[in-house]
Amino acid sequence: MSGRFPRTGQLLLTGGLLLVLAQGLWQLPDLQDYFFPGQQIEANFKAAKAECGRIEDSLTSLKLRAEYLEWFLASSAAAPKVVAARLLAFPFAEILRPLAPGYFWRISIILAKKDRVNVERKLKYLDAFLDHLNPIRGLECSSRETAIGWPPPPGDPYREQIQKFYRQWQRYSAELKELTIKLNRLEENGYKN
């Protein structure tokens, strides 16, 4: 009786490991592209669209911070103690601004640089993701797929979507470049206490 238990345990262990291996292989993106080309491509486009939304939000935040710093330089002497509109956008910075303008300036520049690096990181991620999407494996139907009888996936809508994402990436990169120049100028000619 004791001879059967180790053998049964070995069989269960082997079966479990094979199940885990099969499940892991099933999750590979290349295998997903091969068996379900349309679903994986759509999931990739959803991920790219979500990343574009995050980049737009970060760029908007960076623009607002740069405008806030420009406003501070333009009206540092004549600025009232606390501005209500700025308080909603930057609560901590607006409370700190009248109390310690030099410290406010340094912290705001550091936060703007942090936002800029964050946007750069997201743009690099989106660029790599678009490079992965560009030669979409399912667009050109291979001879093996046509021999199996799978319907060829539509090519034109995917190509148009990829080109749209590339145009967005180029626009985001141009905006980030302009904001980087503006932030560098602000830092060089900034507030002197």
Q: How far is CA 133 from the centre of its chain?
A: 15
- Tell me, yes or no, whether 40 lies in a domain: yes
Q: Which residue has the tokens 């909603």?
A: 88
Alpha carbons 36 and 26: distance in angstroms, whole number: 11
- Tell me, yes or no, whether 193 lies in a domain: no
- Tell me, yes or no, whether 56 lies in a domain: yes
- Tell me, yes or no, whether 102 lies in a domain: yes
> Quick check: 94 pLDDT over 60?
yes
Are 76 and 131 contained in the same domain? yes
Are 52 and 129 contained in the same domain? yes
Are 16 and 44 contained in the same domain? no
Mean predicted confidence (pLDDT) in 146-167:
64
Residue 48's CATH number: 1.20.1050
Are 137 and 181 contained in the same domain? yes
Are 100 and 167 contained in the same domain? yes
Query: What's the pTM value of the predicted model, to 2 decimals?
Result: 0.66
Are 2 and 69 contained in the same domain? no
Of 27-41, 116-130, 178-192, the poorest mean pLDDT is in 27-41
What's the confidence (pLDDT) of residue 77? 54
Instruction: Count Cα atoms within 13 angstroms, Cβ side, for 99.
Output: 5
- 171, amino acid identity: R
Are 23 and 56 contained in the same domain? no
Are 69 and 43 contained in the same domain? yes
Interval 2-25: pLDDT, tens = 555 678 888 889 999 999 888 887
- Tell me, yes or no, whether 66 lies in a domain: yes
Would you tell me the crossing angle of helices 101-133 and 37-74 to the nearest 10 degrees?
160
Alpha carbons 99 and 86: distance in angstroms, whole number: 15
Are 175 and 88 contained in the same domain? yes
Are 80 and 169 contained in the same domain? yes
Are 87 and 155 contained in the same domain? yes
Of 16-30, 38-52, 90-104, 142-156, the poorest mean pLDDT is in 142-156
Q: What's phi and psi for 192, nearest 5 deg?
A: -115, 120
Four-CA torsion 104, 110, 116, 118, nearest 10 degrees: -120
The sign of the dihedral angle between the CA atoms of 88, 89, 91, 96 is negative
Counted domains in the chain: 2
- 153, amino acid identity: P
Are 93 and 111 contained in the same domain? yes
Q: Which structural domain range is residue 58 located in?
A: 36-188
- Tell me, yes or no, whether 158 lies in a domain: yes
